[in-house]
Structure 1
Amino acid sequence: MLGSAAPHLQQATSAETRTIHLRAASWCSDRHTETQQARVDVCCLTSSPGIRLPMRFDGEDEIGGEALFTFTAVEPFCSDPGRRVPHVCLQVADGVWLSPLAPHELSNVIYQLRTRLDELERQVLPQLTVALAEW
């Protein structure tokens, strides 16, 4: 076993090639069937699709982009201790990430998003509807 940082992984090292063969966490979408050349490259993950939204960068044409895509990951040999335990990475919009998020941090993000979406529904949408009707 690899120790308490990675109790779900099992290791076997080949003396000839000095490579590490790993068995992934049960929730991991990567079966780690290929030989890992370096421990730091090991990452167990599973993902959850985001939503497609119309997006544009300042001065650019509209593009379709993905928002709120997430993946749960653990990188048991990473130098960052926060990544050695299961965490969530949240893509706010294409190319913009919040990561890694521990459960209490993800909960805070969800609360803030929920609060903002409620404000959009209660305040901004009615204001926009009135402004459009008056226009």
Structure 2
Amino acid sequence: MSIVSPERPIVAESGKVRTWLRRIWSGGQIVESCPSWCTDGHHNDGDGMLVDLSHGRDYGGTLLPVFDAKEGTIEMPVLDARISVDPYSDSPERRLPHVVLQPWEDEVMECLDPAAFAAVIAQIRAHCDRLDDVHAALVAARRETASL
């Protein structure tokens, strides 16, 4: 493991611990280390306040074609997920790895622990089961309409 200077970019390599020297605005410096799962680049984390540091990994969402009055149909991400940890946060739940879920653009569910995230997944899965029922009803309605 080598320490990189803040002037050199830190290349995100999943599974490898990365470290760098970080200058703290209130004075002093600290050697920071990424957790093995962190894929953030940390290109702007060579100096700053301690609480500004966050480690994370984005898992993305699925893109759905959504109607937009100005643009027509545009691809919008839904269920965008990120594992994150804020090691210097005042909030104990942020100092542990947690999920930040963006159900749709500009809306966020923060600090989901494993149990809370599992509950959200169960709700979404149950809703998808109900959507299967809607799909079956649509097929039946179209079949009925075609026979008229």
TM-score normalised by structure 2 residue count: 0.70
> Within 1, Cα distance between the matches of 2:21 and 2:60?
33
* Paired position in structure 1 for 2:112: 101
Residues 9 and 83 of structure 1: CA distance in aligned 2, closer, same or farther (over 3 Å): farther
Given the alignment of the two structures, is residue 44 of structure 1 paired with residue 61 of structure 2, yes or no? no
Cα distance change, pair 14–129 in 1 and its aligned pair in 2 (3 A): closer
Instruction: Tell me the distance in 1 between the aligned counterparts of 2:79 and 2:22.
Output: 38
Does the CA-based 8 Å contact 1:44-1:73 persist in structure 2?
Answer: yes
CA contact (8 A) 1:23 1:31 kept: no
Structure 1 stretches of 4+ with a deviation exceeding 4 A read 8-15, 31-34
2:60–2:81 CA contact under 8 A, matched in 1: yes
Shift of 1:21: 3.6
> Aligned match of 1:82 in 93, 104, 129?
93
Q: Would you say how many aligned residue pairs link Structure 1 and Structure 2?
A: 125
Q: 1:1-135 counterparts in 2 under 5 A?
A: 18-30=28-40, 32=42, 34-56=45-67, 61-121=72-132, 123-133=133-143, 134=145
Task: Please tell me whether the aligned partners of residues 67 and 93 of structure 1 are also in contact (alpha carbons under 8 angstroms).
Answer: yes
Give the structure with the higher percent strand: 2
Measured in 2, the distance between the counterparts of 1:64 and 1:13 equals: 38
Change (3 A) 1:41 1:47: same
Amino acid corresponding to residue 51 of structure 1 in structure 2:
T
Identity level (%)? 27
Kept in 2: contact 1:88–1:106 (CA 8 A): yes
CA RMSD across the alignment:
2.9
Q: C-alpha displacement at 1:65, in angstroms?
A: 0.4
TM-score calculated relative to the size of structure 1: 0.76
**Greater alpha carbon shift after TM alignment, 101-110 vs 47-56:** 47-56
Maintained 8 Å contact 1:83/1:100: yes
Distance 2:102 2:84 in 1: 14
* Counterpart for residue 4 of structure 1: none
Runs of 5+ consecutive residues of structure 2 not aligned to the other structure: 1-16
